[in-house]
């Protein structure tokens, strides 16, 4: 386990930026800022225009850490407290779950909650509870 | 022009994820670890993002259409079904195991860390597997009908 510092101001600021990006995407392109939806459409686009808007958003996301480095002088911290095996298993499970669930933290958790969508509220409560239970089992029962 | 604006929107999202801590699996897992090294920071990310989006959507969705497209592409379903609940539960299990969610991992790719590429590779494999399974289930359902 890696202890991390409590960062209320940076986290609130980051959350506000995520919110602004979500509002801007709806205002400009009429789309939900959901990583799952954007990624799924990127893999199976209906045409080039459908692919290109998704591709540039993902490119912008990937450029995010570079902008942070420009201002702070260092890349944002990525501390991985789990093994490669757990990354692979977890990643595969996340991919299956978000596809059937129709969204993840950004799509259901932010945009759907903001729209007060019943499906998104149920999805968000469900995955939050599942994550809490999983972290408890992994860390405190299996002791990984 | 449209693509430049969309790139900048992605960039703002990526910066927000980065400074908020969502790209850091240690911070994400600690948020869910009440019995251990608890770090409540991410509630501030969620709260900031949801409140800003809630207020912003009120204004944006009053307009007849977005500025650079013909209409709003909003999900219309309101039913709570098994795939929604089971899929979300499965997502939570994976998120708890790996510490990355899709929206956290995509910006994290920019750090160049190999762990992020491993996670995203597995994530894409999972999405493809699920889409294959979904179309197989849909075929079986239509064959029975």
CB contact under 8 A, A14 and B3: no
pLDDT at A144: 83
How far is B9 from B99, CA to CA, in rounded Å?
25
Torsion angle of the four alpha carbons A66, A72, A74, A79, in this order, in degrees rounded to the nearest 10: -90
Q: Is A31 left (phi over 0), alpha (psi -120 to 50) or beta?
A: beta
B41: phi then psi, degrees, rounded to nearest 5 = -50, -40
pLDDT digits (tens, 9 = 90+) for B75-95: 999 999 999 999 999 999 999
CA distances from residue A61 to A57, A123, A137 in whole angstroms, order as listed: 6, 24, 32
How far is B93 from A127, CA to CA, in rounded Å?
8
| Residue B76, SS3 per DSSP | coil
Kindly state the tokens that stand for B53: 């989006």
Looking at the predicted structure, is the pLDDT value of residue B98 above 90? yes
- Taking alpha carbons only, the member of A14, A4, A100 closest to residue B22 is A14
For residue B30, name the pLDDT band (cuts at 50, 70, 90). Answer: very high
Q: Given B80, B119, B122, which is nearest A122 (Cβ)?
A: B80
Q: Which residues of A touch B9 (CB under 8 A)?
A: 21, 24-25, 28, 33, 57, 60
- Is the ipTM reported for this complex over the cut 0.95? yes
Looking at the predicted structure, is the pLDDT value of residue B145 above 80? no
CB contact under 8 A, A14 and B96: no
pLDDT at B144: 84
Looking at the predicted structure, is the pLDDT value of residue B23 above 90? yes
Cβ(B116)–Cβ(B124) below 8 Å: no
Share of chain B above pLDDT 70, in %: 100
- Taking alpha carbons only, the member of A124, A95, A114 closest to residue B106 is A95
Mean pLDDT value across residues B43-59: 98
CA distance A105 to chain B (A): 7
CB contact under 8 A, B6 and A81: no
CB contact under 8 A, B44 and A128: no
Looking at the predicted structure, is the pLDDT value of residue B134 above 90? yes
Number of domains in chain B: 1
User: What own/partner pairs with CB < 8 Å and gap ≥ 24 does B134-139 have?
Assistant: B134/A99, B134/A100
Low-confidence ranges of chain A (pLDDT < 70): none
Q: Which residues of B touch A27 (CB under 8 A)?
A: 56, 60, 63, 66-67
Chain mean pLDDT for chain A: 96
How far is B31 from B49, CA to CA, in rounded Å?
16
Query: What DSSP letter does each residue of B89-111 carry, written as one string?
Result: HHHHHHHHHH---HHHHHHHGGG
Domain that holds residue B99: 2-144
Looking at the predicted structure, is the pLDDT value of residue B45 above 80? yes
Residue of A nearest to B9 (CA): A21
Share of chain B above pLDDT 90, in %: 96
Q: At what angle do helices A8-29 and B41-60 cross, to 10 degrees?
A: 30
Q: Is B112 left (phi over 0), alpha (psi -120 to 50) or beta?
A: left
Residues 54-93 of A with CB under 8 A from B: 56-68, 75-82, 84, 86-93
pLDDT at B84: 98
SS3 of chain A: the string is CCCCCCCHHHHHHHHHHHHHHHHHHHHHHCCCCCHHHHHHHHHCCCCHHHHHHHHHHHHHHHHHHHHHHHHHCCCCCCCCCCCHHHHHHHHHHHHHHHHHHCCCHHHHHHHHHHCCCHHHHHHHHHHHHHHHHHHHHHHHHCCC
């Amino acid at each position: 386990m890696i202890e991390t510092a409590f960062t209320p101001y940076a986290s609130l600021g980051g959350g506000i930026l995520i919110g602004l990006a979500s509002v801007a995407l709806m205002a400009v392109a009429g789309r939900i800022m959901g990583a799952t939806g954007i990624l799924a459409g990127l893999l199976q686009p209906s045409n080039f225009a459908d692919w290109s808007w998704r591709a540039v958003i993902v490119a912008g996301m990937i450029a995010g850490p570079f902008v942070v480095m420009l201002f702070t002088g260092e890349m944002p911290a990525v501390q991985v407290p789990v093994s490669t095996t757990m990354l692979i298993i977890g990643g595969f499970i996340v991919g299956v779950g978000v596809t059937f669930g129709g969204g993840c933290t950004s799509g259901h958790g932010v945009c759907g909650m903001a729209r007060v969508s019943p499906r998104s509220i149920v999805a968000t409560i469900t995955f939050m509870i599942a994550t809490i239970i999983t972290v408890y089992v992994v860390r405190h029962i299996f002791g990984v | 022009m449209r693509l430049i604006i969309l790139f900048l929107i992605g960039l703002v999202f990526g910066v927000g994820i980065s400074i908020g801590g969502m790209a850091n699996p240690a911070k994400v897992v600690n948020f869910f670890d009440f019995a251990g090294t608890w770090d409540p920071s991410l509630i501030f990310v969620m709260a900031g993002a949801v409140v800003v989006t809630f207020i912003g959507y009120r204004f944006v969705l009053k307009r007849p259409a977005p500025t650079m497209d013909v209409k709003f592409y909003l999900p219309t379903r309101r039913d709570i079904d098994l795939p929604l609940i089971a899929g979300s539960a499965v997502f939570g299990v994976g998120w708890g195991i790996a510490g990355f969610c899709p929206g956290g991992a995509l910006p994290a790719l920019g750090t160049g860390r190999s762990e992020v590429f491993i996670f995203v590779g597995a994530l894409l494999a999972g999405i493809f597997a699920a889409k294959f399974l979904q179309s197989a289930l849909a075929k079986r359902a239509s064959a029975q009908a």
